[in-house]
Protein backbone atom coordinates (compact mmCIF):
# COMPACT_ATOMS: atom_id res chain seq x y z
CA UNK A 1 0.00 0.00 0.00
CA UNK A 2 1.23 3.47 -0.89
CA UNK A 3 1.47 5.94 1.98
CA UNK A 4 0.92 9.61 1.17
CA UNK A 5 0.13 12.80 3.05
CA UNK A 6 -2.86 15.12 2.90
CA UNK A 7 -3.09 18.77 4.02
CA UNK A 8 -5.94 21.24 4.29
CA UNK A 9 -5.13 24.16 2.01
CA UNK A 10 -7.37 26.61 3.87
CA UNK A 11 -6.22 25.89 7.43
CA UNK A 12 -3.12 28.07 7.56
CA UNK A 13 -1.23 26.63 4.59
CA UNK A 14 1.26 29.20 3.31
CA UNK A 15 4.35 29.11 1.10
CA UNK A 16 6.75 28.41 3.97
CA UNK A 17 4.70 25.39 5.03
CA UNK A 18 4.20 24.14 1.46
CA UNK A 19 7.90 24.29 0.66
CA UNK A 20 8.72 22.36 3.83
CA UNK A 21 6.01 19.77 3.17
CA UNK A 22 7.30 19.01 -0.31
CA UNK A 23 10.90 18.77 0.89
CA UNK A 24 9.96 16.39 3.71
CA UNK A 25 7.80 14.23 1.44
CA UNK A 26 10.61 13.75 -1.07
CA UNK A 27 13.35 13.28 1.51
CA UNK A 28 11.42 10.96 3.83
CA UNK A 29 10.01 8.68 1.13
CA UNK A 30 6.29 9.43 1.14
CA UNK A 31 4.63 8.31 -2.06
CA UNK A 32 2.43 11.36 -2.57
CA UNK A 33 1.18 14.69 -1.26
CA UNK A 34 -2.42 15.79 -1.66
CA UNK A 35 -4.15 18.96 -0.53
CA UNK A 36 -7.68 20.27 -0.35
CA UNK A 37 -8.98 23.01 -2.63
CA UNK A 38 -10.80 25.44 -0.33
CA UNK A 39 -10.72 29.18 0.22
CA UNK A 40 -11.81 29.07 3.88
CA UNK A 41 -13.23 26.79 6.54
CA UNK A 42 -17.02 26.47 6.84
CA UNK A 43 -16.83 28.51 10.06
CA UNK A 44 -14.37 30.44 12.17
CA UNK A 45 -11.78 33.05 11.17
CA UNK A 46 -10.16 33.15 7.76
CA UNK A 47 -6.63 31.70 7.75
CA UNK A 48 -3.85 31.50 5.19
CA UNK A 49 -5.19 29.61 2.18
CA UNK A 50 -2.76 28.80 -0.60
CA UNK A 51 -4.41 28.72 -4.03
CA UNK A 52 -4.49 25.21 -5.48
CA UNK A 53 -3.09 25.41 -8.99
CA UNK A 54 -0.37 27.90 -8.10
CA UNK A 55 0.82 25.51 -5.41
CA UNK A 56 0.67 22.44 -7.70
CA UNK A 57 2.66 24.21 -10.40
CA UNK A 58 5.31 24.90 -7.79
CA UNK A 59 5.20 21.27 -6.64
CA UNK A 60 5.75 20.07 -10.20
CA UNK A 61 8.94 22.12 -10.50
CA UNK A 62 10.62 21.41 -7.15
CA UNK A 63 9.86 17.69 -6.72
CA UNK A 64 11.05 14.74 -8.76
CA UNK A 65 9.42 11.62 -7.32
CA UNK A 66 6.14 12.18 -5.49
CA UNK A 67 2.69 12.14 -7.01
CA UNK A 68 0.49 15.06 -6.01
CA UNK A 69 -2.89 16.62 -6.66
CA UNK A 70 -6.12 18.07 -5.34
CA UNK A 71 -8.19 16.03 -2.92
CA UNK A 72 -10.39 17.24 -4.46
CA UNK A 73 -11.10 20.28 -6.61
CA UNK A 74 -14.75 21.39 -6.50
CA UNK A 75 -16.12 21.75 -10.01
CA UNK A 76 -17.95 24.92 -8.92
CA UNK A 77 -14.77 27.02 -8.65
CA UNK A 78 -13.48 26.94 -12.22
CA UNK A 79 -14.90 26.44 -15.70
CA UNK A 80 -14.26 22.88 -16.99
CA UNK A 81 -12.18 24.21 -19.87
CA UNK A 82 -9.89 26.01 -17.41
CA UNK A 83 -9.60 22.92 -15.24
CA UNK A 84 -8.62 20.92 -18.31
CA UNK A 85 -5.97 23.50 -19.25
CA UNK A 86 -4.54 23.74 -15.74
CA UNK A 87 -4.38 19.98 -15.28
CA UNK A 88 -2.83 19.36 -18.69
CA UNK A 89 -0.10 21.94 -18.13
CA UNK A 90 0.82 20.72 -14.64
CA UNK A 91 0.83 17.06 -15.67
CA UNK A 92 3.19 17.78 -18.57
CA UNK A 93 5.43 19.88 -16.31
CA UNK A 94 5.64 17.09 -13.72
CA UNK A 95 6.15 14.27 -16.26
CA UNK A 96 2.88 12.60 -15.36
CA UNK A 97 2.84 12.89 -11.57
CA UNK A 98 -0.45 14.78 -11.26
CA UNK A 99 -3.43 12.89 -9.82
CA UNK A 100 -6.36 15.07 -10.86
CA UNK A 101 -9.04 14.81 -8.17
CA UNK A 102 -12.61 15.99 -8.77
CA UNK A 103 -15.64 16.48 -6.50
CA UNK A 104 -18.91 18.41 -6.43
CA UNK A 105 -18.00 20.84 -3.62
CA UNK A 106 -19.82 21.14 -0.34
CA UNK A 107 -18.87 24.29 1.63
CA UNK A 108 -21.48 26.98 1.03
CA UNK A 109 -19.59 29.60 3.03
CA UNK A 110 -16.67 29.91 0.62
CA UNK A 111 -19.01 30.18 -2.34
CA UNK A 112 -20.99 32.95 -0.69
CA UNK A 113 -17.87 34.79 0.51
CA UNK A 114 -16.33 34.92 -2.95
CA UNK A 115 -19.54 35.21 -4.99
CA UNK A 116 -19.26 31.78 -6.61
CA UNK A 117 -22.44 30.08 -7.76
CA UNK A 118 -23.41 27.18 -5.50
CA UNK A 119 -26.26 25.31 -7.19
CA UNK A 120 -28.29 22.49 -5.71
CA UNK A 121 -26.59 19.13 -5.18
CA UNK A 122 -28.31 17.47 -8.16
CA UNK A 123 -27.11 20.22 -10.48
CA UNK A 124 -23.59 19.99 -9.08
CA UNK A 125 -23.52 16.32 -10.02
CA UNK A 126 -24.68 17.26 -13.53
CA UNK A 127 -21.84 19.78 -13.73
CA UNK A 128 -19.39 17.20 -12.48
CA UNK A 129 -20.39 14.81 -15.26
CA UNK A 130 -20.07 17.60 -17.83
CA UNK A 131 -16.64 18.45 -16.44
CA UNK A 132 -15.45 14.85 -16.56
CA UNK A 133 -16.67 14.50 -20.14
CA UNK A 134 -14.92 17.70 -21.19
CA UNK A 135 -11.64 16.97 -19.43
CA UNK A 136 -11.34 13.34 -20.52
CA UNK A 137 -12.38 14.07 -24.11
CA UNK A 138 -9.90 16.90 -24.43
CA UNK A 139 -7.10 14.75 -23.03
CA UNK A 140 -7.78 11.81 -25.33
CA UNK A 141 -8.63 13.66 -28.54
CA UNK A 142 -6.03 14.10 -31.28
CA UNK A 143 -8.16 16.61 -33.18
CA UNK A 144 -10.60 19.40 -32.25
CA UNK A 145 -13.80 18.12 -30.63
CA UNK A 146 -17.28 19.38 -29.80
CA UNK A 147 -19.53 18.45 -26.91
CA UNK A 148 -22.97 19.58 -25.77
CA UNK A 149 -23.67 18.94 -22.08
CA UNK A 150 -26.38 20.03 -19.67
CA UNK A 151 -24.38 23.03 -18.43
CA UNK A 152 -21.19 23.31 -20.51
CA UNK A 153 -20.22 22.80 -24.12
CA UNK A 154 -17.22 22.61 -26.43
CA UNK A 155 -17.06 23.68 -30.05
CA UNK A 156 -14.01 22.64 -32.07
CA UNK A 157 -11.85 22.70 -28.92
CA UNK A 158 -8.44 21.13 -28.54
CA UNK A 159 -5.50 20.99 -26.12
CA UNK A 160 -2.22 20.06 -27.80
CA UNK A 161 0.15 20.32 -24.81
CA UNK A 162 -1.09 17.43 -22.69
CA UNK A 163 -0.60 13.83 -21.70
CA UNK A 164 -3.16 11.24 -22.84
CA UNK A 165 -2.80 9.32 -19.58
CA UNK A 166 -3.47 12.01 -16.94
CA UNK A 167 -4.78 10.17 -13.89
CA UNK A 168 -8.35 11.06 -12.89
CA UNK A 169 -9.48 10.65 -9.28
CA UNK A 170 -13.06 11.04 -8.10
CA UNK A 171 -13.79 11.52 -4.42
CA UNK A 172 -16.95 10.42 -2.61
CA UNK A 173 -18.88 7.32 -1.64
CA UNK A 174 -22.42 7.87 -2.93
CA UNK A 175 -23.74 4.56 -4.30
CA UNK A 176 -26.14 6.03 -6.89
CA UNK A 177 -24.27 9.06 -8.25
CA UNK A 178 -20.58 9.05 -7.32
CA UNK A 179 -19.69 5.40 -7.82
CA UNK A 180 -21.21 5.18 -11.33
CA UNK A 181 -19.13 8.23 -12.31
CA UNK A 182 -16.04 6.58 -10.81
CA UNK A 183 -16.69 3.45 -12.86
CA UNK A 184 -17.09 5.45 -16.07
CA UNK A 185 -14.33 8.06 -15.79
CA UNK A 186 -11.86 7.46 -12.96
CA UNK A 187 -8.46 5.85 -12.59
CA UNK A 188 -8.75 6.14 -8.80
CA UNK A 189 -11.59 6.12 -6.30
CA UNK A 190 -10.99 8.09 -3.13
CA UNK A 191 -13.66 7.14 -0.64
CA UNK A 192 -14.83 9.48 2.06
CA UNK A 193 -13.88 7.88 5.37
CA UNK A 194 -16.08 4.98 6.49
CA UNK A 195 -15.69 1.86 8.58
CA UNK A 196 -14.12 -1.34 7.27
CA UNK A 197 -17.37 -3.18 6.50
CA UNK A 198 -18.98 -0.25 4.69
CA UNK A 199 -15.81 0.33 2.69
CA UNK A 200 -15.72 -3.29 1.53
CA UNK A 201 -19.42 -3.14 0.61
CA UNK A 202 -18.98 0.04 -1.47
CA UNK A 203 -15.92 -1.42 -3.13
CA UNK A 204 -17.90 -4.46 -4.21
CA UNK A 205 -20.61 -2.17 -5.58
CA UNK A 206 -17.99 -0.27 -7.56
CA UNK A 207 -16.70 -3.58 -8.94
CA UNK A 208 -20.18 -4.37 -10.24
CA UNK A 209 -20.45 -0.99 -11.95
CA UNK A 210 -17.05 -1.50 -13.56
CA UNK A 211 -17.99 -4.95 -14.80
CA UNK A 212 -21.18 -3.53 -16.35
CA UNK A 213 -18.98 -1.15 -18.36
CA UNK A 214 -16.52 -3.84 -19.38
CA UNK A 215 -13.77 -2.60 -17.06
CA UNK A 216 -11.82 -4.78 -14.65
CA UNK A 217 -11.93 -3.99 -10.90
CA UNK A 218 -8.16 -3.46 -10.88
CA UNK A 219 -8.55 -0.64 -13.43
CA UNK A 220 -9.48 1.73 -10.57
CA UNK A 221 -7.07 2.27 -7.68
CA UNK A 222 -8.70 2.38 -4.23
CA UNK A 223 -7.61 5.13 -1.83
CA UNK A 224 -8.82 6.93 1.28
CA UNK A 225 -7.91 10.02 3.26
CA UNK A 226 -7.60 9.04 6.93
CA UNK A 227 -7.36 11.40 9.89
CA UNK A 228 -4.11 10.90 11.76
CA UNK A 229 -2.84 11.77 15.23
CA UNK A 230 0.70 10.44 15.59
CA UNK A 231 3.11 10.60 18.50
CA UNK A 232 6.59 9.21 18.97
CA UNK A 233 5.50 7.74 22.32
CA UNK A 234 2.32 7.29 24.37
CA UNK A 235 2.71 10.65 26.11
CA UNK A 236 3.01 12.45 22.79
CA UNK A 237 -0.10 10.67 21.48
CA UNK A 238 -2.09 11.63 24.59
CA UNK A 239 -1.13 15.27 24.16
CA UNK A 240 -2.04 15.18 20.47
CA UNK A 241 -5.60 14.00 21.11
CA UNK A 242 -6.34 15.72 24.43
CA UNK A 243 -8.73 18.15 22.69
CA UNK A 244 -10.85 15.32 21.27
CA UNK A 245 -13.93 13.84 22.89
CA UNK A 246 -13.03 10.23 22.10
CA UNK A 247 -10.28 8.10 23.61
CA UNK A 248 -7.38 6.69 21.63
CA UNK A 249 -8.97 3.25 21.71
CA UNK A 250 -12.32 4.57 20.46
CA UNK A 251 -10.62 6.42 17.60
CA UNK A 252 -8.59 3.36 16.68
CA UNK A 253 -11.73 1.19 16.69
CA UNK A 254 -13.15 3.45 13.99
CA UNK A 255 -10.09 2.83 11.82
CA UNK A 256 -8.46 6.23 12.33
CA UNK A 257 -4.66 6.37 12.31
CA UNK A 258 -4.09 7.23 15.96
CA UNK A 259 -1.14 6.21 18.09
CA UNK A 260 2.55 5.51 17.99
CA UNK A 261 4.25 4.24 14.86
CA UNK A 262 3.62 0.58 15.62
CA UNK A 263 -0.05 1.22 16.35
CA UNK A 264 -0.48 3.12 13.09
CA UNK A 265 1.23 0.30 11.19
CA UNK A 266 -1.33 -2.15 12.62
CA UNK A 267 -4.25 0.12 11.70
CA UNK A 268 -3.02 0.70 8.15
CA UNK A 269 -2.38 -3.01 7.79
CA UNK A 270 -6.06 -3.67 8.40
CA UNK A 271 -6.98 -1.14 5.73
CA UNK A 272 -4.56 -2.80 3.35
CA UNK A 273 -6.24 -6.13 4.05
CA UNK A 274 -9.59 -4.45 3.28
CA UNK A 275 -8.32 -3.55 -0.19
CA UNK A 276 -6.92 -0.03 0.13
CA UNK A 277 -4.05 0.60 -2.28
CA UNK A 278 -3.21 4.15 -1.22
CA UNK A 279 -3.82 6.04 1.99
CA UNK A 280 -3.52 9.80 2.41
CA UNK A 281 -2.71 10.54 6.05
CA UNK A 282 -4.19 13.90 7.03
CA UNK A 283 -1.78 16.11 8.96
CA UNK A 284 -3.21 19.40 10.26
CA UNK A 285 -0.45 20.65 12.56
CA UNK A 286 1.76 22.98 10.53
CA UNK A 287 3.82 23.87 13.61
CA UNK A 288 5.20 20.33 13.90
CA UNK A 289 5.93 19.26 10.33
CA UNK A 290 9.34 17.91 11.31
CA UNK A 291 7.57 15.05 13.11
CA UNK A 292 6.68 13.69 9.67
CA UNK A 293 10.27 12.43 9.48
CA UNK A 294 9.70 10.32 12.61
CA UNK A 295 6.41 9.04 11.22
CA UNK A 296 8.10 8.05 7.98
CA UNK A 297 10.85 6.17 9.82
CA UNK A 298 8.31 4.32 11.97
CA UNK A 299 5.72 3.46 9.30
CA UNK A 300 6.95 3.57 5.71
CA UNK A 301 9.36 0.60 5.82
CA UNK A 302 6.41 -1.66 6.61
CA UNK A 303 4.63 -0.75 3.35
CA UNK A 304 7.13 0.72 0.88
CA UNK A 305 9.53 -1.98 -0.28
Domain borders along the chain are: 2-302
Read off the pLDDT of each residue in 203-224 and give the average, rounded to a whole number. Answer: 98
Comparing CA positions, the residue from 80, 95, 284 lying closest to residue 185 is: 80
Residues 270-297 pLDDT 10s: 999 999 999 999 999 999 999 999 999 9
Q: Give me the pLDDT at residue 114, please.
A: 97
pLDDT score at 193: 86
Contact 189, 220 (CB under 8 A): yes
Asked whether 143 and 158 are in contact (CB, 8 A), the reply is: yes
How confident is residue 122, by pLDDT bands cut at 50, 70 and 90? Answer: very high
Q: What pLDDT, on a 0 to 100 scale, did the predictor assign at position 254?
A: 86
For the stretch 61-111, pLDDT in tens is 999 999 999 999 999 999 999 999 999 999 999 999 999 999 999 999 999
Report pLDDT digits (tens) over 157-194: 999 999 999 999 999 999 999 999 999 999 999 998 88
Helices marked H in 68-216 — which ranges? Answer: 80-93, 108-113, 121-140, 178-185, 196-212
Q: How far is CA 1 from CA 22, 261, 279, in A?
A: 20, 16, 7
Tell me the CATH number for domain 2-302.
Answer: 3.20.20.30
Which residues make beta-bridge pairs with 280?
4, 225
Dihedral through CA 304, CA 93, CA 128, CA 139, nearest 10?
A: -110
* DSSP letter assigned to residue 131: H
Strands 221-230 and 188-191: parallel
Phi, psi dihedral angles at 100 (to 5 degrees) = -90, 100
Band (257; pLDDT cuts 50, 70, 90): very high
Q: Is the pTM of this model over 0.85?
A: yes
Q: Are 158 and 145 in contact (CB under 8 A)?
A: yes
Amino acid sequence: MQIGLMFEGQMGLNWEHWKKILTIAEDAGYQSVFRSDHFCDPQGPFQDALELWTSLTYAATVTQKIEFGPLVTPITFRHPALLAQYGAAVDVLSAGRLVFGFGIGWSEREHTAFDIDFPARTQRYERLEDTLEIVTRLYKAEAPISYEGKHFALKDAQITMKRPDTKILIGGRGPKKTLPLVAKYADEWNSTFMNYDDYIERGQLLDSYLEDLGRQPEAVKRSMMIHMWYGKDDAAVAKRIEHLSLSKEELQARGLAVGTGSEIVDILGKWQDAGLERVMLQWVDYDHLEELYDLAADVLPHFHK
